């Protein structure tokens, strides 16, 4: 936000409903991806922002691209980190039962797993686990939190102060809604027939991001198949980047971001 503001842009970074400092939905189990699209539209209307660049990471990429498909006149471009535009061709259903997303789909399982630890430890474990290059998969007699040894250090680019700040946000929000959106509502994403994103886009991904180990994902990105859906897409790889590439290499990500914004600004 500081980098783009210093370059003369206005940056707005909301917490999704149910996350961070935002309020919890009254019925989290009935939440939908459409709610997030509606929230984004309302925020832009509130700030009288007629057209914007939408920058998103991880599951936020699904919201960003869905918004661009539904409201192309409100979008100047889309930037996503770690997760590209995805189609039904990329599936997790062929992965082992112990894959973290499949485990967290089961109501109550992640809650019981997380409930064995304080919030700070859960967030710590997730950062350690997801900064690796392999898909997080637990054995039959393990839970996902068991994959992280208590003595494992934090990544060098993630400080104890960072952990304190993030843990405080999850102390406020809890994990109930974050487990609903994205994990337990993945099948509820409203599809668009023959989707084709008509605005310029940038995808930044670390070469060591475990997301590239999803079945078919690496080829989908590197072969350019993704450009069948996002024709005006620029792809940038960061060789040592992990799933948290924007925290690991902020200057490099900002450089890619600012170059894209300046290129496509009116």
Average pLDDT of the residues in 31-45: 93
Which DSSP helix (H) or strand (E) runs through 80? strand 75-81
- Mean pLDDT computed over 63-82: 96
Task: Report whether pLDDT(89) > 70.
Answer: no
CATH number, domain with residue 230: 3.40.50.1820
Tell me which residue range forms the domain holding 108: 1-264
| pLDDT tens per residue, range 47-72 | 999 999 999 999 999 999 999 999 99
Measured CA to CA in angstroms, residue 139 lies from 130, 148, 238 at distances of 17, 13, 31
Report the chain's mean pLDDT, rounded to a whole number: 94
In this prediction, residues 96-100 reach a mean pLDDT of 94
**Nearest alpha-carbon partner for 233 in 58, 74, 79, 28:** 79
How many independent structural domains does the chain possess? 1
What are the pLDDT digits (tens) for 212-254?
999 999 999 999 999 999 999 999 999 999 999 999 999 999 9
Quick check: 121 pLDDT over 90? yes
Q: What is the pTM of this model?
A: 0.95
Q: Mean of the pLDDT values across residues 96-115?
A: 94
Token readout for 223 is: 């072969």
DSSP-derived secondary structure letter, 24: P
Contact status, residue 242 vs residue 212, Cβ threshold 8 Å: no
Q: pLDDT confidence of 25, banded at 50, 70, 90?
A: confident
Instruction: Read off the pLDDT of residues 125-164 as tens digits, 9 standing for 90 and up.
Output: 999 999 999 999 999 999 999 999 999 999 999 999 999 9
Distance CA 121, CA 48 (A): 40
Q: Is 11 exposed, middle or buried (0-12, 13-18, 19+ CB in 10 A)?
A: middle
- Tally Cβ neighbours within 10 Å of residue 160: 10
């Amino acid at each position: 936000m500081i980098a783009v503001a210093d370059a003369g842009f206005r940056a707005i970074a909301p917490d999704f409903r149910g996350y961070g400092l935002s309020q919890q939905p009254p019925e989290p189990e009935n939440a939908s991806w459409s709610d997030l699209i509606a929230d984004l539209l309302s925020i832009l209307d509130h700030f009288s922002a007629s057209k914007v660049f939408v920058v998103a990471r991880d599951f936020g990429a699904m919201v960003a691209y869905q918004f661009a498909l539904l409201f192309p006149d409100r979008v100047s471009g889309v930037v996503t980190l770690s997760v590209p535009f995805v189609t039904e061709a990329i599936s997790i259903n062929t992965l082992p039962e112990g894959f973290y997303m499949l485990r967290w789909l089961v109501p109550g399982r992640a809650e019981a797993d997380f409930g064995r630890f304080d919030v700070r430890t859960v967030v710590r474990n997730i950062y350690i686990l997801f900064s690796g290059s392999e898909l997080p998969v637990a054995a039959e007699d393990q839970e996902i939190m068991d994959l992280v040894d208590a003595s494992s250090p934090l990544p060098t680019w993630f400080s104890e102060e960072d952990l304190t700040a993030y843990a405080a946000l999850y102390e406020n929000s809890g994990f109930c809604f974050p487990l609903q959106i994205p994990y337990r509502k993945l099948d509820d994403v409203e599809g668009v027939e023959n989707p084709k994103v008509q605005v310029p886009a940038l995808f930044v991904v670390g070469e060591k991001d475990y997301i590239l180990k999803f079945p078919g994902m690496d080829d989908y990105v590197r072969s350019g198949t993704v450009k069948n859906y996002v024709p005006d897409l620029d792809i940038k790889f960061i060789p040592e980047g992990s799933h948290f590439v924007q925290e690991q290499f902020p200057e490099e990500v900002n450089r890619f971001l600012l170059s894209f914004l300046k290129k496509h600004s009116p």
